[in-house]
Amino acid sequence: MDITREQIDDLNAIVKVAIKKEDYSDKVDKILTDYRKTANIPGFRKGHVPMGLVKKQYGKAVLVDEVNKLLQDSLNKYLTEEKLDVLGNPLPKAQDNLDWDSENFSFEFELGLAPAFDVDLKTKKAITHYQIIADDKMIDEQVDRIAKQYGKLISQDEATQESEITGVFKNEEKEIENRVTFTLDKIKGKRNLGKFVGAKAGDTLELKTKSLFEDDHDLINYLKVDHDQAHDLDIDVTFTIDEINKREAAELNQELFDKLFGKDAVTSEKEMRAKIKEDAEKQFAQQADQKLLNDITENLVENTKFDLPDVFLKKWIQATGENNLSDEEASEEYSKSEKGLRYQLIEGKIINDNNLQVSYDELKDFAKKYVSMQMAQFGQTDPEDEVLENISARVLSNQEEAKRLSEQVMSEKLVNLYKEKANLKTKEVTYENFVKEVYG
Give the integer Cα–Cα distance in Å for 389 and 375: 13
Q: State the pLDDT at residue 94.
A: 84
The angle that helices 254-261 and 136-149 make with each other, rounded to 10 degrees, is 100
Rounded to whole angstroms, how far apart are CA atoms 285 and 294?
14
CA pair distance 284, 134, nearest whole angstrom: 9
CATH code where residue 49 lies: 3.30.70.1050
The CATH number that applies at residue 193 is 3.10.50.30
Same domain, 244 and 277: no
Tens of pLDDT, residues 231-242: 878 999 999 999
Query: Is 366's pLDDT higher than 80?
Result: yes
Is the same domain home to 109 and 186? Answer: no
What is the DSSP secondary-structure string of 194-223? HHHTT-BTT-EEEEESTT-BSSTTHHHHHH
pLDDT at 97: 80
Would 129 be classed as within a structural domain? no
For residue 427, give the amino acid letter: K
Question: Residue 397's domain is classified under what CATH number?
Answer: 1.10.3120
**Are 239 and 298 in a shared domain?**
no
Given a cut of 70, whether residue 264 has pLDDT beyond it is yes
CB 366 within 8 A of CB 409: yes
pLDDT band, very low/low/confident/very high, at 34 (cuts 50, 70, 90):
confident
Residue 119: inside a domain: no
Contact 289, 152 (CB under 8 A): no
pLDDT value of residue 112: 96
Per-residue pLDDT band for 388 (boundaries 50, 70, 90) equals: confident
Q: Rounded to whole angstroms, how far apart are CA atoms 115 and 99?
A: 36
Arithmetic mean of pLDDT, 132-141: 95
What local confidence, expressed as pLDDT, does residue 381 receive? 64
Is the residue at 24 inside a domain?
yes
Same domain, 240 and 299: no
**C-beta of residue 288 within 8 angstroms of C-beta of residue 130:** yes
- Does residue 408 lie in a domain region? yes
The half-sphere exposure of 384 on its side-chain side, counting CA atoms within 13 A, is 3
User: In Å, what is the CA distance from 324 to each residue of 95, 218, 398?
Assistant: 20, 44, 34
How far is Cα 345 from Cα 151, in angstroms, rounded to an integer? 54
Final residue before a domain boundary, out of 220, 248, 276: 248
Predicted confidence (pLDDT) at residue 277 exceeds the cutoff of 90? yes
Number of domains in the chain: 3
Which pLDDT value is given to residue 190? 92
Q: What is the mean pLDDT of residues 173-186?
A: 93
Residue 127 inside a domain? The answer is no
C-alpha of 401 from chain center? 11
Beta carbons within 10 angstroms of residue 131's beta carbon: 13
What pLDDT does 379 receive?
66
Q: Is the pLDDT of residue 370 over 90?
A: no
Q: Can you tell me the mean pLDDT for 240-257?
A: 93
Assess whether 360 and 405 both reside in one domain: yes
Domain match, 372 and 280 both: yes
Q: What is the mean pLDDT of the chain?
A: 91
Q: Is residue 157 a part of any domain in this protein?
A: yes
Integer Cα distance of 195 and 191 in angstroms: 7
**pLDDT value, residue 72:** 94
The 10s digit of each residue's pLDDT in 41-57 is 777 777 777 888 888 88
Same domain assignment for residues 59 and 199: no
- The CA-atom distances, in angstroms, between 337 and each of 144, 301, 344, 401 are 47, 13, 11, 24
Average pLDDT of 162-172? Answer: 94
Among residues 411, 401, 396, 332, the alpha carbon closest in space to that of 360 is found at 396
**Rounded distance, CA 36 to CA 55, Å?**
9
**Calpha distance 169→206 (Å, rounded):** 10
Mean pLDDT of 292-298: 94
Residues 106 and 238 in one domain: no
Q: How far apart (Å, rounded) are the C-alpha atoms in residues 195 and 198?
A: 8
CA distance 433 to 431: 5
Strand ranges for 94-175 from DSSP E: 105-113, 127-133, 152-155, 163-171
255 near 146, Cβ under 8 Å?
Answer: no
Least confident of 64-73, 92-101, 279-288, 377-386: 377-386
pLDDT at 416 over 90: yes
Q: Are residues 232 and 273 in the same domain?
A: no
Same-domain check for residues 229 and 279: no
pLDDT score for 159: 95
pTM passes above 0.75: no
**β pairing state of 236-248 and 163-171:** antiparallel
Q: ∠108-109-115 over CA atoms, to 5°?
A: 140
Q: Specify the DSSP element, H or E, that contains 252.
A: none
**Mean pLDDT throughout 341-357?**
95
Same domain, 179 and 311: no
Residue 216 has pLDDT above 80, yes or no: yes
Does 283 fall in a domain?
A: yes
For residues 243 and 295, state if they share a domain: no
For residue 7, the 8-state DSSP code is E
Last residue of a domain, one of 113, 142, 166: 113
Per-residue confidence at 374, pLDDT binned at 50, 70, 90? confident
- Given a contact cutoff of 8 angstroms between Cβ atoms, the answer to whether 429 and 134 are in contact is no
pLDDT in tens, 318-327: 888 777 888 8
Assigned domain for 139 exists: no
Identify whether the C-beta of residue 288 lies closer than 8 Å to the C-beta of residue 428.
Answer: no
Across the range 360-377, mean pLDDT stands at: 86
* Domain end residue (candidates: 113, 133, 162): 113
Question: Using CB atoms within 10 A of its CB, is residue 276 exposed (0-12), middle (13-18) or buried (19+)?
Answer: buried
Domain that holds residue 409: 267-439
